[in-house]
Chain A
Amino acid sequence: DGGITQSPKYLFRKEGQNVTLSCEQNLNHDAMYWYRQDPGQGLRLIYYSQIVNDFQKGDIAEGYSVSREKKESFPLTVTSAQKNPTAFYLCASSIEYQPQHFGDGTRLSIL
């Protein structure tokens, strides 16, 4: 089945540690997105990529980094510079003029 796979489902980070969240899609979508969700805040865009080897900052990119080396993969690294990383992270993808489709998310917590 085609879809978006996020892993792991749950992730714990220690102080000063970088962690990487995986997002893989087999929908052949050009564009991919990372969102952060906090209770009552809705979805806030961290980074997005329209094409391989290119990506742009979203509204809350500080403390995060991404890469887009393959069309189907868009990993997100939460760096130690992100002081409040506890949140639910959602990855999405889309093709031209079509709605975004989401993965099932990764919940990141601080140890």
Chain B
Amino acid sequence: GQQLNQSPQSMFIQEGEDVSMNCTSSSIFNTWLWYKQDPGEGPVLLIALYKAGELTSNGRLTAQFGITRKDSFLNISASIPSDVGIYFCAGRPPNYTGANSKLTFGKGITLSVRP
């Protein structure tokens, strides 16, 4: 089946640094989503992208929908300690329509921020 690739599994940065995460696939997606999960909680939606080339910001977060529709990236600028967590990308393939918003998820990147 379709898979989304996120690597590395863990990232360690210094507080105040910027960080960029990629998500890639061998097949195209119509929607790209970025979620953050804090320990013991459910993922929370950060940014949703619906159009190839789209660039969207949410505070210190910026995400882009790749032109090829096979990738997306998420940038976090001026990181702070509360940015710690697991960041998941998710995509919706072209063959899922209507009420079925079935998603394919990456395995996530665990971000650690050193004070």
Contact = CB atoms under 8 A, between A and B. Distances in A.
A92 to B, nearest CB: 8
A51 B107 contact: no
- SS class of chain A's interface: helix, strand, loop or mixed? strand
Contacts of A97: 31, 101
Given A40-B9, A42-B88, A100 B108 contact: no
A103 B42 contact: yes
A45 B102 contact: yes
B interface bracket (residues with beta carbon within 8 Å of A)? 20 to 34
B66 interface: no
Interface in B62-91: 88, 90
A17 B95 CA distance: 38
Interface residues of A, number: 29
B101 A96 contact: yes
Interface in B17-48: 31, 33, 35, 40-45, 48
Given A43-B88, A105-B42, A100 B101 contact: yes
Contacts of A41: 107
Contact of A99 (B9, B48, B107): B48
9 contacts: A42-B107, A43-B88, A98-B101, A99-B90, A100-B103, A103-B42, A104-B40, A105-B42, A107-B40
In the A-B complex, list the 3 residue pairs whose CB atoms are closest, starting with the nearest.
A102-B42, A42-B107, A94-B101
Interface of A: 4, 6, 30-31, 33, 40-43, 45, 48, 50-51, 59, 90, 92, 94-105, 107
